Structure 1
Amino acid sequence: MTLVLAMLLDAALGEPKWLWSRLPHPAVLMGRAVGWADERFNSGDQRRANGILTMAGLAIGALLLGWVVSLFGPAVEIVIAAILFAQRSLVDHVKAVADALRLSVGDGRMSVAMIVGRDTSDMDRPAVARAAIESAAENFSDGVIAPIFWFAILGLPGLLLYKITNTADSMIGYRTPRHQNFGWAAARFDDLLNLIPARLTALLIAIPHGVLRDWPAIVRDARRHRSPNAGWPEAAMARAIGVALSGPRSYDGEMRDFPFVHPEGRDDIGPDDIDAATRVLWTGWGIVLALALAAALL
């Protein structure tokens, strides 16, 4: 029942600005820990070894902290878990892009720039919508389903382990000259922890929207993605709402020719399709809530 209550609390409150404008969010504290480790240990000739030891230290620290905090009882676990689940905040951020895009393409670009890392200055209306929908699908996996999965499996220690790993991957898990070696362990461990949740997310999207029959095509597109996990929810989402996703986009001024996901889908998309994606998120979330409630009652 702890999981059920945490999910409901997250859905009801999201991330209240009045609180996090006064206190540092736990994710911010995790980011500071990763940043400190990056500054302290990312140097010398043994950067990959340093990165492995750093990730191991962060993981052990997260497990121990989760165990200690869990000793304070279910009420504390519920609050911490609700803070670290991201369903409400994800939907709010994605829906904000749809609302902004209805005003103008320029407003849509500014809004989507808050949730994606690609260049947004030259995006047209469909590109803004694609970026928002892709972000919705990918973050539903690593911001909602994966945290819930690891909380269900290992309790608060598992949730904190996942979140510190995901934070480390987002900060140092890039193939840049500075982080290619030091961030290798964070990136690989994040891939491992997302292996099952990403595929579960694809099923949560595909089953209720009648596209499970397209599973072979979903698998095919997922395997063409540059990430071993992010392609699964994206491929399922594309078919669930009937749109083409991914394709060429620009990072740091450099155009990259990524393949389209579900190229047979509609490509002239807009805010209504973003809204459709948010409804998919709530449907998947509702299924997980029902399963968690059934498990608690049994």
Structure 2
Amino acid sequence: MTLLLALALDALFGEPKWLWSRLPHPAVLMGNLIARATSMLNRAPYQKAKGVIICIGLVALGGLGGLVLAQLGAVAEILVTAILVAQKSLMQHVQDVAQALRLSLAAGRKSVAMIVGRDTAQMDAPQVARGAIESAAENFSDGIAAPVFWFALAGLPGVIIYKMINTADSMIGYKNTTYQDFGWACARLDDLLNWVPARLSALGIWLITGCRISWSTIASDAKLHRSPNAGWPEAAMAYALDVSLSGPRSYEGKLEKFPWVNAAGRKNIGPVEIEKSIQTLWLTWGAMVLLVACMTLALWV
């Protein structure tokens, strides 16, 4: 019941600006902690070993914090879990891209730059739309399915540990000279923690949209992605909408020729397809809530 109420609370209220303009968001506090540890320890020698220590410390701190907060009662558990699940805010950010792109290409580029890490200055409209759809699919797995999965499996300590590691991965989990060794442990643990949720997200999208293509095709295209997990919800979304995702894009001025996911899909896409991806993810969210409700009822019985 705690998880159901948290999901409902997030769907109704999302991220209230009046609250987080006055208080630091937990994700910001996690980020500040990780940034401070990184500035202190990310230097030679033994950067990989130090990164492992940071990873272990985040797991311990997250687990302990979850146990302490859980002792405050069901209301605290519901509120914290609702804060750490981000369905409504994700959908709002993606919807903002669709609305901005309808106004102008420049507005679309500016809006999508807030949710993707690639270069946006030279994007055309289909590239803006692809960026928004890919971000929606990947972040549905990271920001909704994974927290729900880990709460169901390990309660509040599980979801806080997950968010700690996922935040660390987003900050130091890069394969570059600065973070390749130091961020290795957090990046690998994040891959492990997201392994099941990513595939469950893809399965949910595939089922809710009528299994239009074989599961083996989704699995095959998922492996084209450079991430072991992100390709799964992206591939499922690409086939659900009959669009091509991924493909060439630029990072820090360098063109990366990534393969297309669903290469035969439509490439000339825009706000309509972005909004269809939002509808698909709300339906998938609804199916997930129904599953959680059935599991809760089964436990009661």
**TM-score category, normalised to shorter length:** over 0.9
Q: Which residue of 2 aligns with 1:159?
A: 159
| Mapping of residues 131-142 of structure 1, within 5 Å | 131-142=131-142
Aligned counterparts of 2:208 and 2:39: Cα–Cα separation in 1: 46
| Mapping of residues 256-267 of structure 1, within 5 Å | 256-267=256-267
Aligned counterparts of 1:146 and 1:38: Cα–Cα separation in 2: 25
Give the partner amino acid of 2:290. Answer: A
Check whether the contact 1:211–1:239 (CA below 8 A) recurs between aligned residues: no
Aligned counterparts of 1:102 and 1:289: Cα–Cα separation in 2: 32
SS of aligned partner of 2:115? coil
Check whether the contact 1:90–1:136 (CA below 8 A) recurs between aligned residues: yes
Give the partner amino acid of 1:280. Answer: T
Q: Which residue of 1 aligns with 2:17?
A: 17
Aligned counterparts of 2:152 and 2:194: Cα–Cα separation in 1: 14
Shift of 1:214: 2.1
Q: Which residue of 2 aligns with 1:70?
A: 70
Q: Which residue of 1 aligns with 2:268?
A: 268
Give the partner amino acid of 2:60. Answer: I
Give the partner amino acid of 1:58. Answer: L
- Find runs of 4+ consecutive structure 1 residues off by over 3 angstroms: none
Aligned counterparts of 2:242 and 2:155: Cα–Cα separation in 1: 36
Q: Which residue of 2 aligns with 1:169?
A: 169
Q: Which residue of 2 aligns with 1:83?
A: 83
Q: Which residue of 1 aligns with 2:246?
A: 246
Aligned counterparts of 1:253 and 1:211: Cα–Cα separation in 2: 38
Shift of 1:212: 5.8
SS of aligned partner of 2:250? strand
Check whether the contact 1:87–1:143 (CA below 8 A) recurs between aligned residues: yes
Q: Which residue of 1 aligns with 2:44?
A: 44
Q: Which residue of 2 aligns with 1:60?
A: 60
Aligned counterparts of 1:8 and 1:184: Cα–Cα separation in 2: 35
- The two structures, once aligned, show a CA RMSD in angstroms of 0.7
Aligned counterparts of 1:121 and 1:41: Cα–Cα separation in 2: 34
Identity %, equivalent residues: 56
- The runs of 5 or more residues in structure 1 that have no matched partner are none
Q: Which residue of 2 aligns with 1:128?
A: 128
Q: Which residue of 2 aligns with 1:237?
A: 237
Check whether the contact 1:203–1:212 (CA below 8 A) recurs between aligned residues: no
Shift of 1:273: 0.2
Aligned counterparts of 2:236 and 2:162: Cα–Cα separation in 1: 23
Shift of 1:233: 0.2
Shift of 1:45: 1.3
Q: Which residue of 1 aligns with 2:294?
A: 294
Shift of 1:6: 0.1
Check whether the contact 2:212–2:240 (CA below 8 A) recurs between aligned residues: no
Check whether the contact 2:213–2:239 (CA below 8 A) recurs between aligned residues: no
Check whether the contact 2:86–2:144 (CA below 8 A) recurs between aligned residues: yes
CA offsets 1:46-104 (integer angstroms, 9 cap, x no match): 00001001100111110011001000111100000000000000000000000000111
Q: Work out whether 1:191 is the aligned partner of 2:191.
A: yes
Aligned counterparts of 1:209 and 1:174: Cα–Cα separation in 2: 33
Check whether the contact 1:119–1:251 (CA below 8 A) recurs between aligned residues: yes
How many residues are matched? 298
Check whether the contact 1:174–1:183 (CA below 8 A) recurs between aligned residues: yes
CA offsets 1:135-178 (integer angstroms, 9 cap, x no match): 00000000110011001110000000000000000000001111
Aligned counterparts of 1:76 and 1:135: Cα–Cα separation in 2: 30
Give the partner amino acid of 2:89. Answer: S
Aligned counterparts of 1:6 and 1:122: Cα–Cα separation in 2: 40
Give the partner amino acid of 1:249. Answer: R
Check whether the contact 1:168–1:186 (CA below 8 A) recurs between aligned residues: yes
Give the partner amino acid of 1:105. Answer: L
SS of aligned partner of 1:268? coil
- The runs of 5 or more residues in structure 2 that have no matched partner are none
CA offsets 1:12-56 (integer angstroms, 9 cap, x no match): 000011100000000000001111110111122100001001100
Check whether the contact 2:77–2:156 (CA below 8 A) recurs between aligned residues: yes
SS of aligned partner of 1:111? helix
Aligned counterparts of 2:97 and 2:184: Cα–Cα separation in 1: 33
SS of aligned partner of 2:114? coil
Check whether the contact 1:2–1:78 (CA below 8 A) recurs between aligned residues: yes
